[in-house]
Amino acid sequence: MSQTALDNDELFGEAANEMREDVEASLAEAWDALPESDDVWETDADNVLGVLNGLKSALDAGDAEDHLRDAKKWFTMGQRADAFDDADDLEAEIEAIEEAIEDISAAGEQVGELTATIPALRGTLEEAGVDESEAEDEDEE
């Protein structure tokens, strides 16, 4: 085998290692960009609407989607180049982050719907309470 072929194989091996490191770094950044569990669980709000608004703010994947995109880009490139000896762990981690982001997004949508619904519900219940009080007053008379 010629020296050039050895150099090319060595360079390809280095590039494959660097590509894997890039994927792993992007995955780590994606995990770090997700909200902390305590931010989603704990609150210091005084009412339900405050809780929902705080939760809605906490349910933001932040830059996780961008980091996941970078990881997937380099992962796809590495797979197509057959650069990874074993990429099952990377693929599993990509799927796990995708699921986490989807869960966060779905929860955020549900909280957003509740945030829009709760004030109207409160108003309806307040009006019903006023009507009920008036009816009780009329019965007493």
Query: pLDDT, tens digit, for every residue of 17-36?
Result: 899 999 999 999 999 999 99
- Number of helices (H) and strands (E) in the chain: give both, helices first: 5, 0
pLDDT tens readout for residues 116-140 = 999 999 999 999 887 665 656 555 6
Q: Which of 88, 34, 111 is nearest to 66 (CA)?
A: 34
pLDDT at 62: 86
Instruction: Kindly tell me if the per-residue pLDDT of 141 is higher than 60.
Output: no
State how far the Cα of 40 lies from the Cα of 106, in Å rounded to an integer.
14
Contact 55, 40 (CB under 8 A): yes
Q: Give domain limits for the chain.
A: 3-140
Residue 86, judged by CB atoms within 10 A of its CB (0-12, 13-18, 19+), counts as exposed
pTM listed for this prediction: 0.78
Residue 2 or residue 38, greater confidence: 38
Sign of CA dihedral 133, 134, 136, 140: positive
DSSP 3-state assignment of 60?
A: coil
pLDDT, residue 140, reads 61
What average pLDDT does the segment 61-81 reach?
Answer: 93
